Structure 1
Amino acid sequence: MSGTSPEGPVLEVVLVKAGRTKIRYPARLLRDDGTRLAVRAPWAGAGVRDFGFVRFEPGDVFTEYYWRDRWYAVKEVRDGAGALKGWYCDVTRPAVRGGGEVVVEDLDLDLWCGVDRADVRRLDEDEFAASGLAERDPEAAAAATAALDELERLARGDGFAGLLE
């Protein structure tokens, strides 16, 4: 689904995991400087997803940042009233944009950073270990682990403001 409107073009965000499309959803392109692109989309999941430390639910809005030269994506999450919930970060291969799509390959590792940055959580390290990426593609596994470490440093440091401006 691609198109344009006065607000900007609509792209499809395609999240691939283990060679299969995990989710696909429309998002409004906010900007693309050739290296980093930003899109905005409503929560694309079915119903509520309660992680225990944050709930994603209908009405939430995600401003998502993807890079063509970094192994992660950062998603700023706000509720329907605009209040910031925090940042959900996916470790991915660098994004590819083409044909009205932004395609990213999810590498299982994630990071959550709450609004006050006191709640920083590394997620799904067990899934990453079980994925076998380290055996199949050691260089990609090393890049993924380094990306998660970088995201945690940013979250525990000055946050993502400088990265997302």
Structure 2
Amino acid sequence: MHDTESTGTLTPGSEVTVRLVKHPRPDVRYAAVVTSDDGTRITVRAPWSGPPVRDFGFVRFEQGDVFTEHYWRDRWYSVKEVRTGDGALKGWYCDVTRPASVRDGALVVQDLDLDLWLSADRSTVLRLDEDEFQASGIEQRDPAAAARAREALDELEQLSHDGFTGLLGG
């Protein structure tokens, strides 16, 4: 099921399990297909795997939605382009995370609770879950990681101004 090369890069076209570590909450795991891995950035595509509908108020994730997810081995975030099943862009959901790794054939990312949403028309940028971040205790447990997480959220907000084209190309 998982296809990894000896270098630890994932092979385009192979299936991989994405594992979002959400300690102390249960991890989230889902299947995705690798579209690219250049040794630094890993891109996968996956259908929405949550409940049939998840309404955040600012966006609804639904069965049929497709996520193109970009993870970095050297950055503290991921960027997920969200489209409807027929290809209409909904926007970008970004997670602040520790850098991604490939372990035991899985793409593993530790979620740090800070998120950012950018609407498809780029008119709405929302910083999300700062209360969860504070409640996590990371600022006391690992102040250096907490500082990196806040810097990553600021960087994502800056990158959102051009719809992440400077980061993702296109």
**Shorter-normalised TM range:** over 0.9
Task: Name the residue aligned to 1:65.
Answer: 70
Superposed, 1:15-164 pairs within 5 Å as: 15-18=20-23, 21-155=26-160, 157-164=161-168
How far residue 2 of structure 1 moved from its aligned partner, in angstroms, is: 2.4
Identity %: 67
Kindly provide the CA deviation profile for residues 33-75 of structure 1, in whole angstroms up to 9, marking residues without a partner as x. Answer: 0000100000010211000110000000000000000000000
* Cα separation, 2, equivalents of 1:64 and 1:112: 14
Map Cα deviations across residues 91-125 of structure 1 (whole Å, 9 max, x no partner): 00000013221000000000000011110000000
Query: Residues 104-152 of structure 1, C-alpha deviation per residue, up to 9 Å, x if partnerless?
Result: 0000000000011110000000000111100000000000000000001
Give the Cα separation in 2 of the matches to 1:85 and 1:52: 13
Letter in 1 for 2:2: S
Q: Which amino acid aligns with 2:44?
A: V
- Check conservation: 1:15, 1:21, Cα contact below 8 A: no
Q: Pairwise CA RMSD of aligned residues?
A: 1.5
Secondary structure of 2:85's partner? coil
Q: In structure 1, what is the Cα distance between the partners aligned to 2:84 and 2:107?
A: 24
Equivalent position amino acid for 1:12 in 2: T
Structure 2 CA distance for partners of 1:19 and 1:35, relative to 1, 3 Å: farther
Task: Calculate the TM-score normalised by the size of structure 1.
Answer: 0.94
The alignment partner of 1:62 has SS state of strand
SS at match of 1:45: coil
Any stretches of 5+ residues in structure 2 without a counterpart?
5-11
Cα distance in 2 for partners of 1:115, 1:159 equals 8
2-structure distance, mates of 1:94, 1:21? 19
Q: How far is the alpha carbon of 1:22 from its aligned partner?
A: 2.3
Q: Tell me, in whole angstroms, the C-alpha distance in 2 between the residues paired with 1:69 and 1:142.
A: 16
In structure 1, how many angstroms separate the alpha carbons of the residues matched to 2:75 and 2:68? 17
8 Å contact from structure 1 (residues 15, 106) kept in 2? yes
TM-score (norm 2): 0.91
Unaligned runs of 5+ in 1: none
